[in-house]
Structure 1
Amino acid sequence: RLEPINGTGGVLPADGGTLDLEFTALRRGMANFDRLWLRWRGPFGLVWNQVVLPMDEKVAVLPDVSHARDEAITLLQRSAQADGHAQKRAGQGREFEALKDYQPGMGRRMIDWKRSARHGKLLAREFRIEENNNVVLAIDSGRLMCE
């Protein structure tokens, strides 16, 4: 689905020419243009003429990931450590909880690149700390285990 930016249309010179229109994509994928609506005023400006022309055009709509890419580059430059090791963060569990906006200081491994590309900004995965886990210690003291 596409929505026009700042209204629609424009003014063509009397001798003809081209007109560029800008649209905002609401979703990525293929955009179909199936008809073109033309409207112009009569010579004295009292009446409108309108024509609908059929057309069959398809345009691939892709996300603009330049903003997320720029944020990622500044992140990688800022958070690189001299020894090259990733920072250990206290409180990072293994169970996925939610996605949230990336904040400076978060680990690079937490960035969800697919969803960042889809939303046009850096998103990080947030994990829940495992709590109240039962630990079972089993000791096999049978005769087959001794040597």
Structure 2
Amino acid sequence: MSSYDKTLMTLVNTLIHAGRAYKGAADALTADFELSHASAWPVLMISRLGDGVRPGVVADAVGIEPPSLVRIIDQLVAAELVLRKDDPSDRRAKTLSLTAEGKRVAERLEKALAPFRRELFKDIPQADVEATVRVLLRLDQVLAERNAS
């Protein structure tokens, strides 16, 4: 195995491990918001993606399959954090939006996550973080293109 292949293998393994570790650490922050770990992420993603987003887009952003999101959305609707409406452009489809309370919860979650992320990256130069973002965005694009074909 070449040196570059070993580097790529280490990168992929580290990416998977770091992603899981980050999600686990970030999930611990949601305990203060009276939300399950599973329901906090959809609230955040609906906030980030904007009102009127389709459930499949939210599921993709959270990293779960759309059928797995249905029960969570049902709970968030019952908790009056999310509104589920018919998509005006396609009545078979639904859209998701946050209620006023859902927006307040999302804002509190973002305020809790910002210092958490800053603490994690405090010893990494901003230029390195920006380079990593460029590489990961490109990787995401390559994988999306590959999966589309």
TM-score w.r.t. length of structure 1: 0.26
Higher share of residues assigned strand: 1
TM-score, normalised via structure 2 length = 0.26
More helix by percentage: 2
Which of the pair has more CA radius of gyration? 1
